[in-house]
Chain A
Amino acid sequence: MRKILLGLFAAMTTVLMVWGFHLAVNAPAEMMQGDAYRIIFYHVPSAMVAFLFFAVSMAGSIGYLAYREKNPTRALAWDGWAVAGAEVGVVFCTVVLVTGPLWGYRAWGIWWAWDARLTTTLLLWLIYVSYLLLRRFAGGSQMRTSSAVLGIFGGIAVPIVYISNRIPGQHPGPVFGGDSSSGMAPEILRPFLGNILAWLCWGLVVLILRHRLELKQQAAAARDAEQALNA
């Protein structure tokens, strides 16, 4: 039943992605930036999804630390969400860090600027890359606990990145919830919201698949440990 539901959700997501792409390429042209402004339809939703999944990773890390002694099975499930959130979040954050400079070069004439938003986003990405490297190379029973602590610190950094574009710099200010000059034309807002929905659904499909893979790996590791004890 779960497989059918996931399959249906994945099919719906594929339709949404095609619709989102159609909206993005057919959105009205922008006066100053021409076609390059359409990069925001992939760049901004990817940033939103990355932030959301880093929050999922933080919640998973807290859950792991809360249950690791009381209920180890439940703790491992939480740990699965922590690693899945971090990994898929890093994928989306990588998209942000690659598409951003492509837009920046057309809009500003430079690939990168060390302003608050860009620098904090890069630092956030580095925190979660170090989280994944810690999980990959640290062995022993303390690996999950150490990575959970790092995951919580990474999650705390997300709001700092979010508010960093309120500090004047190279990066555009907030589109929503900013000052009186913020906002978006309705004909651009529709494809923008459509792409946020599409990328969110895509991210959820990938997150669920990654969580299932992690549970599969945990089961295999438990099986190996049992076999080693019985040998």
Chain B
Amino acid sequence: MKKIAARIAAVIPIALLAWAIYTLLSAPPEPPGDWRLHMTQAQHDLAVAPIDHAYRVAAYTVTWAIQMGFLAWMGLKWTAQTRDGSEDAHGTRRS
């Protein structure tokens, strides 16, 4: 059970990071530099809104990927420390 929990904890940040990268890569292309020749300000705002949204989602997702990654790393260390401690205690009892 603990092994499964540790694996899930390690997979979540990787999945979040992959999602952030996918969000950035799948964002629609920027309007061309001379967009004023082809579209109005309102049309331009409408065209860049999904790009702004993608960057915001990527920033929030990568933040959680870093935070959850650190928590997972701490959890793994904590589990290893507890396991070593209990093995030591077991060894002492046997001897």
Contacts and interface: CB of A to CB of B under 8 A. Distances in A.
Interface string B55-95: 11011101100110011001001100110110010000000
A210 B74 contact: yes
B45 A34 contact: yes
Contact of B67 (A24, A91, A105, A216): A91
B71 to A, nearest CB: 7
A213 B81 contact: yes
Contacts of B62: 95, 98-99, 102
A115 B71 CA distance: 32
B63 A46 contact: yes
Contact of A98 (B51, B56, B66, B84): B66
Nearest to A223: B88
Contact of A106 (B55, B81, B82): B55
Contacts of B45: 34
A103 B55 contact: yes
Contacts of A24: 60
Given A43-B59, A94-B66, A216-B81, A35 B74 contact: no
B63 A95 contact: yes
Contact of B66 (A95, A202, A227): A95
Nearest to A209: B74
A91 B66 contact: yes
A35 B85 contact: no
A43 B63 CA distance: 9
B16 to A, nearest CB: 12
A164 B74 CA distance: 33
B63 A34 contact: no
Interface in B6-25: none
7 contacts: A34-B49, A34-B53, A35-B52, A35-B53, A36-B56, A39-B56, A42-B63
Given A34-B49, A38-B56, 19 more contacts: A33-B52, A34-B48, A34-B53, A36-B56, A39-B56, A42-B63, A46-B63, A94-B66, A98-B62, A98-B66, A102-B62, A105-B55, A106-B51, A106-B55, A206-B70, A213-B77, A216-B81, A217-B77, A220-B84
Query: Closest 3 CB pairs between A and B?
Result: A34-B52, A35-B52, A36-B52
